[in-house]
Structures are given as C-alpha cells and as structure tokens.
C-alpha cells in the first residue's frame, strides 16, 4: 500500500505552497484566463497528477485509478441527479406547464412590491434553485421582477441575494452529495449540519430584500412579512434537511414558505401598498402582472392551482418515498471499486472509492419524470426536444462534475490534501473564521457550490481533524460560505443576466452585488463563531 509523505519538500510552508498549485492554477484559469470550466478542470487534474507522482511520489497506476473512481463518483453522485432534474424542468417548460405556473404565481402576488419580492424572489426562487440550480433562478425570476417595476440591475441583486439560503441544497442536493463523496462523512449528518447553519442564515435575507425594494420605511412597515418569510422557509427546510436528507430541503422550504405567505397576506398586509423604491400605491388589490388574456377565475381556481403545482408534488412524493430513511433502495450496491493509500496524518488507510448504487437519488428523479410523463401525457415529439435542450445546456456542467471530482480524489489519495491541511492547522482555531471565507472565495471564482465542496471539502475536513474541531464544522461552513459567494460568481452571473438587458455585463452586476454579499458573509462568520463556541455538539457525529 502506498505510504503518503507529509512534507515531501523538506520545508512545511514550501510543501503547502506546492500543494496549493492546483487550486491557484484552477482559479487563475477560471477567473483570469476565463477558460471554460470543463477545460480548466481537465488541465487542473493533469497538473495534480504530475505533482502527486513527481513530488509526493504516489504510484502512477493507483493515482490514475483514483482519478477514474473520482470521475465516476462525480458522474453518478452529481450528474445523474442534476441531469434528470433539468430534464423535468425542461419538460415543464416545453409543455407550457411552467409558463402557467409562473402566471399563477404572479397572479397571486399582490400589488405590494415587498410581498411580490418575498413570494417570487424568495419562495419561488428557492423552488427553482432546489430543482435546477446553476443560475436558473436568476434567469427566470429577474424578468418577472423587472416586469413588476424593479430596475434591471436591482432585480438581479434581489434575485441573487434571495438565492443565498437555498444554494447548498440546489439541484436536488448536489453540493451536499458531493461534499459527502469527497470527505467520506455521512451524507445525512452533513445534510443536518448544513441545514442547521442555513436555518440561522435564512433569518437575514428577507429583511435585506424588503429593504432593497422599498427602503427603510418600507422595511419597518413590513417587518411581519420578513419574519414570516424567513421562519416559514426554515420550517419547511430544516426538518427535511435533518431527517430526510439533502434532496428536497429547498423544494419543501419553498413550498411551505410560499403557502404560508399566501395565507398570511390574506389576513395581514402593510397599511401602505408600496411600489419599487417605496412609493405608495393607491390600490391594494391591483395585480401589476396579471395576464390580461387569462381569465381571473381560471387563475384563481383550485383546479388550476392543483394543475400547476402537481409536478412538484409528484417529485417530492416520489423522492421522499424512494430516498427516505425507511427505504433501502439508495443503499443497494452492484459493485464497488477502490484503491487505498496509508494516510500521512492518521497512519490508517484512505480509500478512493466508486460505489455503484443503481437506485440512488438520481434514479428516483428519473422515476419522478416518468411518472410526470404518464400524468401530463405530452406529445412525443417534445421528448427529443427536452433531451436536446438539456444536453445543450448541461454538457459542460456534466464534464465539470466528472473532472472536478477526479481532481479531488487524487488530491486526497496522493497526500496533497493532508500536507495542505497540516500546514493550515498551524493557523489554529482562527481557521473557524477562515472556513466560510474559503468557501466564499471558491464559489466566487469557480461559480459552483458543488465544485467548491469538491475542491476544498477534503482540506476543510482534514484541518478540522488536526485541530480537534467538531468533524462537521469546517466542511459545513465551507458549503454555506459557498452559498454566500454565489451573487459574485461570474459563471452564475452570466446565466443570471441572460434574460435581462445586462447580457455580457457580468462585471457591473458583480460590483453591484458585492457590498451586500460581504454583509451576509460577515453574518455567516458570526454564525460560525456561535456554532464553535456554543453549538459544537450540532457539528459532531
């Protein structure tokens, strides 16, 4: 068995610097050279292989096996889920169901910009993040907000900040599944720990959103809306994240939040009805975005409500029954491939494993799609269009998942992760503050929470072990830190601005988002200190 070397350069800080070369190179290619992500991850992986073999003296054959097993894990744990999630979304789009759903949502938002923002950007945006991710909540929500009277640049900022809390469970839990794959930590434990952090993080954004669209006076008037918006999302998200796993917390949080807000505004509304910027409106009942060609009775009917919400109900029902704690399907394994190295830190084996579980979460989403086809009965000519559109949208992301996980696996297998973590552990417990910042930097440059977890998750986990911190603490804050960095991620912004007047103006968008992103990051750092000092048992296995 290959014995890892902790300090191959003979000088700890030189070893740490060499171990950081793959990350520095990857982030340079993404941020400075603006290489496409799949090509950057291929080059970064090749560089990691060379360093692992030449500097850490890892055996070439086993290193390549680890690379392959990592790539296969990325495909099966991430691609198999996100692909079928986007297939469902595109099926709803091409059959017209999603357009009806949007009209229904807009119809039931009142004329008050604060209520519209919380129901559409906060709740509806979380639903889109949970189903698709990859910047699509921005692309879909921004035109709606612009139509409601919000300026383009401000609409993008509102959509981006509303998207903060759901990102760790985006694309049907892909970031948490990826984090579990590269750290070896239990998926359910990570889902619960991240869910607890997100529950506290989610207390802030509704206040910020209301302030951004209506000013200080508008926020003070609508304080019950901010409280109900945040607590209702937490009520739907936290129990599912803790007890059912990472697949559905965004969807459940969004659904619970929307319907509680829907009922709440039937009994309470701010005394003044305000438009964007805080200007008072004369009418409390006029819906600014009602579709003039759609009969009001139809959009308000129970039949129409059931029709537009049915796909999400089916998805939740199938995935919960398939992946819940009572189901043995996700644990079924047909074969398992692995290669081992002896850890330079613990002196115990470290495994690079690909475990083929044919009935894992992605398969449940495939089954959900089949059930939806049986219910919706679309024209068969639409099915090839759905697959064609999905492949065009996702082929790059599919490659990135394979190659970034391949890179992460060999970074751990060769001993580079141990060397980097050992050096970072010399910082001491101050690293508790740096953990969310590292996630924030990673996603700001890579554009992907899942990729950030794959890159930095193993180092965060190993650093936590060396510092004797609760094992879930640093990896969990890495993931949530990545949530907060999303509004300034160029790749996310490029998708988000695609349906606005700011196409190819990502730099302007990022500068506009930066200030509030730093505010939320500071809030997250405070949360990390609270968990470290007072709630550490929530971060332990």
219 found inside a domain: yes
pTM for the structure as a whole: 0.90
370 found inside a domain: no
233 CB-near residues (< 8 Å, 6+ apart): 122, 123, 126, 165, 202, 253, 254, 256, 257
The helix (H) or strand (E) run that includes residue 5 is: none
The confidence score (pLDDT) of residue 504 equals: 65
The confidence score (pLDDT) of residue 448 equals: 85
Residues facing 338 on adjacent strands: 353
What is d(CA 304, CA 438) in angstroms, rounded to the nearest whole number?
A: 45
Total domains, the chain:
1
Our CA angle for 275, 123, 317, nearest 5°, is 155
The confidence score (pLDDT) of residue 339 equals: 97
9 CB-near residues (< 8 Å, 6+ apart): 15, 18, 55
pLDDT in tens, 489-523: 876 777 767 777 877 677 788 889 999 999 999 99
Contact 480, 443 (CB under 8 A): no
268 found inside a domain: yes
298 found inside a domain: no
Domain housing 45: 15-280+312-330+382-539
Closest to 520 in 3D by CA, of 229, 230, 201: 201
* Residue 149, helix vs strand vs coil: coil
74 found inside a domain: yes
Please give the backbone phi and psi of residue 337, each rounded to the nearest 5 degrees, phi first: -115, 140
- The sign of the CA dihedral 378, 381, 387, 388 is negative
What is d(CA 426, CA 467) in angstroms, rounded to the nearest whole number?
A: 9
185 found inside a domain: yes
- C-alpha atoms less than 13 angstroms from C-alpha of 134 in its C-beta half-sphere: 23
Structure tokens at 518: 């730093």
446 found inside a domain: yes
What is d(CA 415, CA 52) in angstroms, rounded to the nearest whole number?
A: 8
The confidence score (pLDDT) of residue 299 equals: 66
What is d(CA 388, CA 93) in angstroms, rounded to the nearest whole number?
A: 13
The confidence score (pLDDT) of residue 490 equals: 72
490 found inside a domain: yes
* Residue 350, helix vs strand vs coil: strand
Q: Which residues of the chain have pLDDT under 70?
A: 282-300, 491, 496, 504
């Amino acid at each position: 068995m290959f014995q890892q070397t902790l300090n191959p350069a003979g000088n700890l800080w030189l070893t740490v610097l060499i171990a950081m070369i793959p990350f520095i190179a990857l982030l340079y290619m993404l941020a400075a050279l603006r290489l496409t992500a799949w090509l950057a991850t291929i080059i970064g992986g090749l560089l990691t292989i060379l360093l692992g073999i030449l500097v850490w003296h890892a055996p070439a054959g086993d290193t390549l096996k680890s690379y392959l097993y990592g790539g296969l894990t990325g495909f099966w744990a991430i691609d198999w889920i996100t692909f079928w999630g986007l297939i469902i979304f595109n099926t709803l789009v091409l059959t017209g169901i999603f357009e009806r759903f949007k009209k229904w949502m807009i119809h039931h938002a009142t004329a008050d910009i604060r209520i519209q923002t919380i129901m559409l950007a906060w709740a509806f945006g979380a639903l889109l993040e949970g189903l698709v991710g990859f910047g699509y909540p921005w692309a879909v929500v921004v035109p709606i907000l612009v139509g409601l009277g919000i300026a383009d640049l401000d609409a993008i900022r509102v959509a981006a900040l509303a998207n903060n809390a759901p990102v760790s469970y985006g694309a049907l839990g892909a970031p948490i599944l990826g984090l579990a794959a590269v750290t070896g930590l239990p998926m359910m434990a990570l889902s619960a720990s991240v869910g607890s952090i997100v529950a506290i993080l989610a207390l802030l954004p509704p206040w910020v959103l209301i302030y951004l669209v209506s000013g200080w006076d508008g926020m003070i008037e609508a304080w019950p809306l901010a409280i109900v918006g945040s607590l209702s999302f937490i009520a739907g998200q936290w129990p599912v994240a803790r007890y059912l796993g990472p697949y559905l917390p965004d969807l459940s949080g969004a659904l619970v939040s929307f319907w509680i807000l829907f009922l709440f505004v039937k009994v309470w509304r701010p005394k003044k009805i305000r438009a964007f910027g805080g200007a008072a409106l004369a009418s409390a009942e006029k819906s600014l975005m009602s579709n003039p060609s759609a009969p009001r009775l139809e959009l308000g009917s129970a039949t129409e409500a059931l029709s537009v919400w049915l796909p999400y109900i089916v998805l939740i029902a199938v995935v919960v029954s398939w992946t819940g704690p009572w189901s043995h399907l996700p644990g079924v394994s047909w074969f398992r491939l692995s290669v081992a190295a002896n850890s330079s830190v613990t002196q115990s084996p470290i495994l690079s494993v690909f475990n083929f579980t044919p009935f894992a979460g992605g398969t449940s989403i495939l089954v959900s799609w089949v059930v939806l086809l049986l219910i919706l009965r679309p024209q068969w000519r639409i099915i090839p269009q759905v697959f064609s559109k999905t492949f065009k949208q996702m082929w790059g992301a599919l490659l990135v998942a394979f190659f970034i996980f391949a890179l992460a696996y060999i970074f751990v297998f060769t001993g580079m992760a141990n060397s980097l973590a050992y050096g970072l552990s010399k910082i001491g417990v101050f690293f508790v503050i740096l953990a969310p910042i590292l996630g924030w930097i990673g996603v700001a440059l890579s554009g992907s929470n899942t990729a950030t977890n794959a890159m930095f998750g193993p180092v965060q986990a190993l650093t936590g072990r060396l510092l004797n911190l609760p094992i879930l603490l640093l990896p969990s804050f890495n993931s949530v830190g990545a949530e907060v960095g999303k509004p300034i991620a160029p790749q996310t912004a490029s998708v988000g601005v695609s349906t606005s007047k700011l196409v190819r103006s990502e730099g302007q968008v990022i500068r506009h988002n930066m200030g509030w992103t730093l505010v939320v990051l500071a809030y997250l750092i405070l949360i990390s200190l609270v968990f470290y000092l007072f709630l550490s048992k929530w971060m332990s296995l």
